[in-house]
Structure 1
Amino acid sequence: MSIVRLFARPLLATGFVAVGVERLRNVDQTAEQLAPTLKRIGSTVPSAASLAANPTMVARVLGYTQVGAASLLGMGKMSRLASLLLAGTAALNAVVEYRNADASTAQERKDRRYQLLKNLSLIGGVLLSAVDTNGRPGLAWRANHLATDTGRKTRAVSKSVKKSTRKQLAAVSNAASDIVGS
């Protein structure tokens, strides 16, 4: 693990741990903030209506997910999955905070915009972390190289078989000529 990863992951994770703990400490307030967004999701996606009906449970799940995924990211364990989970919770958090922020004055609108930009920056950070392969090749690279190597080996075997077949056909032809006596 590089020195940058050693420090960057825990630094990125600390904000998510703090927000997750705060969500768990104030579950009722978080549920109240989530309720309008969950109602909208429930009306748009009927299969999510049961989740939308229980904002307290969603608030707890979000809190535990943020604390757990951020802890995993900070420790460098399953960091790609943890980053994807954090990106999802951060996106929901961005929507909820933006919708619930006061925007009656110019300063409040400015604060709401900065909060949204901060949340989008965090989403970008965890998405970068989600595609980080720790300096090892990713699955796409491995699959591409496996296909390339397989094609190259197949062509080499094919050439070898053709050459061998030609030699065998020449030997059979010579043997047939000897038998016929031409």
Structure 2
Amino acid sequence: MSLIRFLARPMLASSFVIAGLDKLKNADDTAAQLSPILRRASESLPFPADEKMLARMIGGAQLGAGALLGLGKFARFSAAVLTLTSALNTFVEWRSADISTKEGRQARRAQLLKNISLTGGVLLAAADTAGRPSLAWRAEHLAIDARKATGKQLKRADKAVRKAVDNVVGA
């Protein structure tokens, strides 16, 4: 792991770890923020939505994925989880912010920009292959190499058949 990744991952993850702990400690507050969204979503869900349980799940996901990202373990997967929770968090906080005053609107804007920045950061971390090729790149190049190898083998077989024909005809 490079020095930059060694330093940047824990720095990025720290915000999510703290937010996850906060969501776990204050599940009632988070549930209250989630309530308007869950009311709309519960109409299409085949099961009842428990706001407090969902708040704990989001907090646990942020805490766990943040810790894994900070440690550099399953970094791409944990960054993808954090991207989803961050996007959800951005939407929920934006909707529930107090905009009745000028200060409230400014705070809402600052929080929105912070959340968008964090989402962008974990999105970059999710795409980071740490200098190693991605699975898609490896599969694509394995297929290309297989086609090349098959072509070479066909050429060799063609030469061998032509040589055998020449030997039979020439004899």
Query: Structure 1 length as normaliser, TM-score?
Result: 0.89
Aligned-residue offset at 1:135: 1.1
Q: How does 1:1-182 map to 2 (within 5 A)?
A: 1-43=1-43, 46=44, 48-50=45-47, 53-175=49-171
The whole-number CA distance in structure 1 between the counterparts of 2:62 and 2:47 is 22
Letter in 1 for 2:94: Y
Structure 1 consecutive aligned stretches of length 4 or more whose deviation exceeds 6 Å: none
Letter in 1 for 2:86: A
> Does the aligned pair in 2 maintain the 1:30–1:59 contact within 8 Å?
yes
Letter in 2 for 1:9: R
Tell me the percent identity.
49
The whole-number CA distance in structure 2 between the counterparts of 1:165 and 1:110 is 79
Per-residue Cα deviation, 1:103-143 (whole angstroms, up to 9, x for no partner): 12233222212211111111110011011111111112211
The whole-number CA distance in structure 1 between the counterparts of 2:139 and 2:13 is 31
Q: Any idea what SS the aligned residue of 2:47 has? A: helix
Aligned-residue offset at 1:174: 3.0
User: Residues 106 and 49 (structure 1 numbering): CA distance in 2 closer, same or farther, change over 3 Å?
Assistant: farther
Aligned-residue offset at 1:49: 4.9
Aligned-residue offset at 1:172: 2.4
Give the aligned length.
171
Larger radius of gyration: 1
The whole-number CA distance in structure 2 between the counterparts of 1:65 and 1:6 is 22
The root-mean-square deviation of aligned C-alpha atoms, in Å, is 1.3
Letter in 1 for 2:8: A
Q: Indicate the larger mover: 18-27 or 166-175.
A: 166-175
Query: Structure 2 length as normaliser, TM-score?
Result: 0.94
The whole-number CA distance in structure 1 between the counterparts of 2:152 and 2:137 is 23
